[in-house]
Structure 1
Amino acid sequence: MAPSSRNCFRQLFMTNHSSRRDNGGSEQEAKSDEKLVQPAQKYVFAHVVMGNTAHHTTDDWATDIKTAQAAGIDAFTLNIATGDSNIPTQVENAFNAATNLGSSFKLFFSFDYLGGSGPWPATGSSSVASYLNKYGVSSAYFKYNGQIFVSTFEGVNNAGDWTPNGPIRSAVQSTAGSIYFVPDYTSLGPDGFSAQLNNVQGGFSWDMWPAGPVNMTTANDLAWKNTLGSKSYMMGVSPWFFHSDANPIAWMWRGDNLWSERWQQVLEVQPQFVEIVTWNDWGESSYIAPLLHDEEVPANSLKYVKNMPHSNLLTLLPYYISQYKGIRSNATTDSMQYWYRTSPAAAGLTGGVLGNNPNQGQVEYSPNTLCEDKVFFTALLQSAADVHVQIGESPVTSYPGKAGLNTWSHGFSGQTGNVTFSIVRNSQTVKSESGTEITAESSVIGGLTNFNVWVGGF
């Protein structure tokens, strides 16, 4: 996904998800900690846009790897596009860092056929085969069932390169070995993908954001899983989406409670693999990583990304991943994560930002109608407790929580100030912290609304 030229193709499913209960401007989502399965060999990856790593050193890569591994992530998906002179250097830096660390954390390639200077050539210099032969033999390359794992961002017009006796597998077999191929051919839709089943070992759907003022459902995931049958399904999980660089257009999809909701959907769908989208796509606001270099943010997006950290999304990730892998884990401490936009959607100028992407055939909305002016928060509790929320000098609102995972939302319309979150048990405050300020007007230069999200936690 080259940050400057990427387009997402999605098969749209508009089924409403209605597992939430409104309660006077706030809501508590019914969540279950009981949807656990027997332990299985499952993996969680994080999608790294290599075009956004130009200033990374080997030490930076080591930092990223250790941060991701501490959160329970198993491997980085290195998304690489053609024509970017930084890619060879950064791929080498990433593999050197992973090899030097010598940990169980791995890397693998996702070949981006839509970004960069054009589709990937199958063979020759700077080709799919050349990258796989050079790095597929590395101890740091992720292998599944003894095969090198490979994905794509689209590439349906080059699907013939990946057939069992096609040029890529033929060129790689004697050096890096056989390939476990799990492409993203989302533009085909589940039905269209069925024609590719003899050429792949699995499939990845890029459809992980709702298309309109609704919540995400599992309808699309289940359709893909049904098409794949016994083959592996890789499910996408993303926290947010705001394509802030108007190249060619700027648009957003509803984020709101997507991060917490999507992890519960993972428990329902039970895919073989999960890919978090993304680790570092600053220009689309889907990042979960700490920002190491401002220079790696697209220039037109920096004003929306600066001082808008998402790294606290990592706080509860080990718990989510343990649930997915069927590893029952009880909370040993009380913790929270909370996320919200820092001003009402209508408080600033949209600046040409669209709700949905009409270039993908989607119904266009005002972005102000897609997002909810609410504070979203999740508490992982050792035992039953109340969670208190206060915005500025507004009255405190209390939410009763059970042992385990709890997610709520709280409307902030007409309220301003720092947002304070407290865990209270037996009338005693266990932990309390304040998040960044909600303002009545946008603080972005030019009065533009920032559709990105601020994330905190403890």
Structure 2
Amino acid sequence: MLSTVGRMLLATISAWIALGQTSCAGDRISPPKMVFAHYMVCCPANGLGATVEDFEREIATARSYGLDGFALNVPGWSREPHYLAISRRIFAAAERSAPSFRLFLSFDDAPVDDSATMLLELSASSAYLRVEGRPVVSTYSGTPEWGGSLRKRLSSSGVKPFLVPNYQYPTDKFWSRNYSRPTAQFLDDLFREHPDIDGYFVFGPDLGYAKPPTDGPLVAARSKLADKLSMIGISPYYRGLRGNFRVFESGGFQGMAAQWTAAIESGANWIEIVTWNDWGESTYVAPYGDIRRQDLWNYHWGSLLSHEAFLKASRYYIDWFKSSRRPSIDHPSIYYFYRPHPKSAYGIASPETGEQGRPKGWENLVDCICVSTFLPRPLTVDVTVGGHRQSTTMPAGVQHYSFEMFEGPVIIKVMDQGRPIAEKQLEFPITKLGQMGNFNYFAGEIALP
């Protein structure tokens, strides 16, 4: 799709060379721009027994899409030793097959002792991400007291972590307010009162594509003012399960594209795709087999739908972010995103019990077949759903369009100045049954000459 592959390869190599000798402007740390994915160590696609070879294949896939590494999400491991065992295998895979692929730990409410023990062991790996020789440490939520305790615990070993946390609380006092959506005052106070913090990671991206993203640009701006690093979370979609049975509309890829654009234009240092493999909250972008496959871990998370096209469409923005230039588009690409049922259907709240219902926020969903195009020249997209035909000409560049949803099979045709060049019947028809898609998006691609 892009003409910048060679230039991006050179830029990536240069960036990794520069990583070990980070430049500074005054006290400001300026590592190369990198894109990571948040990896749930609890949930490898091949199960808890996933091998080093399995992780090598996952890393190869991530690299093929331009990712620079994984942030490994881990809670305490002393009660659940598989977290450390799996992390060791992931590090072994990176060391063996991908010298430039970097890993770092993102602690999820982990006890300080567990965190310190794990970091001391794994940061010795050549695959561990370092800035100015210091191992990068991130978090999901947490407080500055946790970070201070971790630093103190590590000091006797001569290890000083490079902290880029997602602290959502200013203190560990029980009355402390949650700042899952940070404010300027919260960030300014955090950086001023805790100078040992090296940057900030905003985990929960803006959800609800109709509004322009604001959290990422705010974090990037306030971090820059404080001479700190910013890491912006970007998510394709969200639909939880069980007690967290809620959903947010993304307009297909349009919401993710808006997050990418806002992060790029705000001058963020790093980006973290949230997530690689959180199957339960539907934020995953990782492929896990045939595009029609739905039975990962024997339906442990219910029926899943492929999200790989979210990752494919993101490649344009990954290249843009790293090069600071909008890539030229030499080959056309067309991606489609849709729920295979209307929002009025009933889904499965809990895969264990089969409890049915609609997720919180279902009424704000949009029933549509969403198409995103990356085109060097205009092409006409013709969508027929259950016998209802709709057509529009998509201009050159990056465009998003929503076609009305009806019940029945979905067929997309693509025409170049009236000449048919591609036709595809999509993988799943639109039905009244919500259990199959369960308020998730299916994402696919039209093969074009």
Same fold (TM over 0.5): yes
Listed as ranges, the matches of 1:247-286 within 5 Å are: 248-256=243-251, 257-286=254-283
Query: Is 1:405–2:402 an aligned residue pair?
Result: no
Match of 2:216 in 1: 221
Match of 1:180 in 2: 162
Aligned partners of 1:315 and 1:249: how far apart in 2?
A: 28
Report the Cα offset of residue 86 of structure 1.
1.5
Aligned partners of 1:219 and 1:317: how far apart in 2?
A: 19
Report the Cα offset of residue 284 of structure 1.
0.4
Aligned partners of 1:376 and 1:384: how far apart in 2?
A: 17
Query: Is 1:64–2:46 an aligned residue pair?
Result: no
Give the AA of the match of 2:301: S
Match of 2:122 in 1: 135
For structure 2, which runs of at least 5 residues remain unmatched after alignment?
1-10, 16-31, 169-177, 349-355
Asked whether the equivalents of residues 336 and 377 of structure 1 are also in contact (C-alpha less than 8 Å), the reply is yes
Listed as ranges, the matches of 1:135-174 within 5 Å are: 135-156=122-143, 159-163=144-148, 166-172=151-157, 174=158
Aligned partners of 1:80 and 1:396: how far apart in 2?
A: 47
Report the Cα offset of residue 152 of structure 1.
0.2
Report the Cα offset of residue 341 of structure 1.
0.3
Asked whether the equivalents of residues 283 and 297 of structure 1 are also in contact (C-alpha less than 8 Å), the reply is no
Report the Cα offset of residue 262 of structure 1.
1.8
Residue of 429, 435, 438 corresponding to 1:438: 429
Report the Cα offset of residue 295 of structure 1.
8.2
Report the Cα offset of residue 427 of structure 1.
2.3
Match of 2:25 in 1: none
Aligned partners of 1:59 and 1:134: how far apart in 2?
A: 21
Report the Cα offset of residue 100 of structure 1.
0.5
Query: Is 1:420–2:412 an aligned residue pair?
Result: yes
Instruction: Go from structure 1 to structure 2 and tell me whether the alpha carbon gap of 1:135 and 1:295 turns closer, same or farther (over 3 Å shift).
Output: farther
Instruction: Go from structure 1 to structure 2 and tell me whether the alpha carbon gap of 1:334 and 1:217 turns closer, same or farther (over 3 Å shift).
Output: same
Aligned partners of 1:168 and 1:220: how far apart in 2?
A: 32
Give the AA of the match of 1:332: D
Aligned partners of 2:412 and 2:150: how far apart in 1?
A: 60
Aligned partners of 2:326 and 2:265: how far apart in 1?
A: 16
Report the Cα offset of residue 294 of structure 1.
7.9
Aligned partners of 1:199 and 1:169: how far apart in 2?
A: 14
Match of 2:353 in 1: none
Aligned partners of 1:234 and 1:75: how far apart in 2?
A: 13
Asked whether the equivalents of residues 371 and 401 of structure 2 are also in contact (C-alpha less than 8 Å), the reply is yes
Query: Is 1:318–2:315 an aligned residue pair?
Result: yes
- Root-mean-square deviation (Å): 2.6
Asked whether the equivalents of residues 275 and 285 of structure 2 are also in contact (C-alpha less than 8 Å), the reply is yes
Report the Cα offset of residue 42 of structure 1.
0.7
Q: 1:52 aligns to what SS in structure 2?
A: coil
For structure 1, which runs of at least 5 residues remain unmatched after alignment?
1-38, 114-118, 356-366
Match of 2:439 in 1: 451
Match of 1:359 in 2: none
Match of 2:4 in 1: none
Match of 1:347 in 2: 345
Instruction: Go from structure 1 to structure 2 and tell me whether the alpha carbon gap of 1:436 and 1:81 turns closer, same or farther (over 3 Å shift).
Output: same
Report the Cα offset of residue 429 of structure 1.
2.7
> Which sits farther off after the overlay, 57-66 or 324-333?
324-333
Report the Cα offset of residue 106 of structure 1.
1.1
Deviations 1:94-144 (A, max 9, x none): 01110000331111110001xxxxx422x3xxx222222111121111123
Deviations 1:353-381 (A, max 9, x none): 442xxxxxxxxxxx331210011111111
Q: 2:301 aligns to what SS in structure 1?
A: helix
Instruction: Go from structure 1 to structure 2 and tell me whether the alpha carbon gap of 1:431 and 1:266 turns closer, same or farther (over 3 Å shift).
Output: farther
Give the AA of the match of 2:432: E
Deviations 1:292-331 (A, max 9, x none): 698865955223x1xx111122222221111112145322
Give the AA of the match of 1:344: P
Q: 1:51 aligns to what SS in structure 2?
A: coil
Residue of 330, 333, 355 corresponding to 2:331: 333
Instruction: Go from structure 1 to structure 2 and tell me whether the alpha carbon gap of 1:394 and 1:45 turns closer, same or farther (over 3 Å shift).
Output: same
Match of 2:351 in 1: none
Instruction: Go from structure 1 to structure 2 and tell me whether the alpha carbon gap of 1:100 and 1:383 turns closer, same or farther (over 3 Å shift).
Output: same
TM-score if structure 2 supplies the norm length? 0.78
Match of 1:116 in 2: none
> Which sits farther off after the overlay, 58-67 or 251-260?
251-260
Match of 1:302 in 2: 302
Report the Cα offset of residue 155 of structure 1.
1.3
Aligned partners of 2:380 and 2:33: how far apart in 1?
A: 34
Report the Cα offset of residue 217 of structure 1.
2.5
Aligned partners of 2:57 and 2:232: how far apart in 1?
A: 26
Q: 1:407 aligns to what SS in structure 2?
A: strand
Give the AA of the match of 2:127: A
Give the AA of the match of 1:133: L
Larger RCO, structure (CA 8 Å, separation 6 or more): 1
Match of 1:26 in 2: none
Q: 2:431 aligns to what SS in structure 1?
A: coil
TM-score if structure 1 supplies the norm length? 0.77
Asked whether the equivalents of residues 419 and 437 of structure 1 are also in contact (C-alpha less than 8 Å), the reply is no
Report the Cα offset of residue 165 of structure 1.
9.2
Report the Cα offset of residue 271 of structure 1.
0.8
